[in-house]
């Protein structure tokens, strides 16, 4: 479970990225974070990942309080969190297999297990024939599939996605969302997005942010700009 309790995050000059925000997300729940640029969506993702700390309030992920820099378990927690970025964050000098397997290599898993896990996620995202391709050989949609595969690979049960379809055409966008739907029953998925069509069509939980405040929390919700 992910829990925010009265979380405020201030940036330099006292600008409030988040202002007294409280919510909880259950295990294996699919949630959209929506709002205009600067509403606080990315700040929430970074707090969950432990890249930021709140000025006040608490952030608890998997029963670990990660609200301050004294927490010793953030690196342990990050092993269970996969992140998908709008700009992919793909290593250009590594092939698809190597990009996906990077986190598994860091964990020193046996090579046989790494190959099995990578092949499984390649099939899941529809890139089973692209394992030895390099990023320059792939389309934008395929690069995002690589990024999703990397996020899913390993024992990661929390998936954070920051505008994962922001650079994609409408058809490719829906192809990407179908991948998230394939894993929604056994992953906690949090997607920050501006895409009203996706949010309104999928009817998942929607947290609406405005100027750092949580103004709506809707089950099977929608969103209007």
Q: What is the pLDDT of residue 225?
A: 66
Where do the domains of the chain lie, and which CATH numbers do they carry? 1-79+197-220 (3.40.50.300)
Q: What is the pLDDT of residue 70?
A: 85
CA–CA gap between residue 55 and residue 205 (Å, rounded): 27
Q: What is the pLDDT of residue 148?
A: 96
CA–CA gap between residue 25 and residue 60 (Å, rounded): 10
Residue 92: phi, psi to the nearest 5? Answer: -70, -25
- For the beta carbon of residue 90, count every other beta carbon within 10 angstroms: 18
DSSP designation for 53: -
Q: What is the pLDDT of residue 186?
A: 93
Q: Are 10 and 57 contacting, i.e. CB atoms less than 8 angstroms apart?
A: no
Q: Are 46 and 61 contacting, i.e. CB atoms less than 8 angstroms apart?
A: no
- For the beta carbon of residue 6, count every other beta carbon within 10 angstroms: 12
What residues pair up with 4 in beta bridges, in sequence order?
23, 59
What residues pair up with 34 in beta bridges, in sequence order?
193, 208
Q: What is the pLDDT of residue 154?
A: 86
Q: What is the pLDDT of residue 222?
A: 81
Residue ranges with strand state E in 26-140: 30-34, 56-61, 64-65, 81-85
Q: Taking the model in full, what pTM does it have? A: 0.94
CA-to-CA separations, 61 to 27, 44, 55, 76, 92, in angstroms, rounded: 10, 12, 17, 11, 32
The contacts of residue 171 (CB under 8 Å, 6+ apart) are none
**pLDDT profile of the chain (225 residues), mean per 10:** 97 89 97 93 96 96 91 89 91 96 87 94 95 96 95 92 91 94 95 93 95 94 77
Q: What is the dihedral sign for C-alpha 134, 159, 64, 108?
A: negative
């Amino acid at each position: 479970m992910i829990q925010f309790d009265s979380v405020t995050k201030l940036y330099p000059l006292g600008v409030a990225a988040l202002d007294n925000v409280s919510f909880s997300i259950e295990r294996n729940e699919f949630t959209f974070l929506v709002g205009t640029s600067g509403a606080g969506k990315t700040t929430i993702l970074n707090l969950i990942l432990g890249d930021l700390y709140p000025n006040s309030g608490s952030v608890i992920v998997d029963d670990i309080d990660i609200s301050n820099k004294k927490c010793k378990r953030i690196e342990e927690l990050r092993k269970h969190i996969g992140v998908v970025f709008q700009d992919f964050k793909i290593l250009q000098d590594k092939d698809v297999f190597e990009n996906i397997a990077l986190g598994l290599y860091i964990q020193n898993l046996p090579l046989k297990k790494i190959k099995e896990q990578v092949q499984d996620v390649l099939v899941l995202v529809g890139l089973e024939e692209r394992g030895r391709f390099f990023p320059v050989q792939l389309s934008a949609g395929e690069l995002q599939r690589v990024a999703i595969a990397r996020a899913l690979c390993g024992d990661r049960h929390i998936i954070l996605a920051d505008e994962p379809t922001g650079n994609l055409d409408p058809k490719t966008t829906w192809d990407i969302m179908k991948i998230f739907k394939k894993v929604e029953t056994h992953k906690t998925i949090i997607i920050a997005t501006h895409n009203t069509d996706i949010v309104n069509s999928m009817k998942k939980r929607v947290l609406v942010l405005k100027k750092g405040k949580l103004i709506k929390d809707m089950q099977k919700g929608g969103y209007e700009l």
